[in-house]
Amino acid sequence: MKTLSRLQAAGYQVQLEGEEIVCRWQGSGKPDAAQVRPLIEELRIHKDEALEALRSVHDLPKALADWPEEWQEAYIERAAIMEYEGGLRRQEAEQRGEELVREQYRQIGGRT
């Protein structure tokens, strides 16, 4: 998304915190409000598209087999706990386990 790139080029770090888009000034001095205000407004208007773009940058691959090994292990552990200790059906436990691990991965920005 061009708006995200333009904000980053203007000196902002743009990232997800939960479902919120957070822009932090990283440049020296003060940001140029006249330059940034229209970009922030455009980001508000196209928030869903921006959220999707930010999620895709810091998300695990679709296929579990393509995940890094430590994230696969975290998924297996969470799904097993939810199935055996939480009493969920296997399919629901696996789905929830995947959602939890993906969210954790996004929150740390894909760092391992």
> Does residue 44 register a pLDDT over 90?
yes
Strand segments (E) across the chain: 12-17, 20-25
Residues 43 and 3 sit within 8 Å (Cβ to Cβ): yes
Q: Is 102 helix (H, G, I), strand (E, B) or coil?
A: helix
pLDDT in tens, 50-73: 988 887 776 788 899 999 999 999
Q: Is 25 helix (H, G, I), strand (E, B) or coil?
A: strand
For residue 14, what pLDDT band results from cuts at 50, 70 and 90?
Answer: confident
Q: Where are the domains of the chain?
A: 2-57, 64-107
For the CA atoms of 74, 80, 85, 88, what is the dihedral angle to 10 degrees?
A: 120
Q: What is the pTM of this model?
A: 0.53
Give the tokens for residue 76: 């297996």
pLDDT in tens, 67-99: 999 999 999 999 999 999 999 999 999 999 999
How many Å apart are CA 68 and CA 99, to the nearest integer?
A: 16
Give the tokens for residue 111: 């760092």
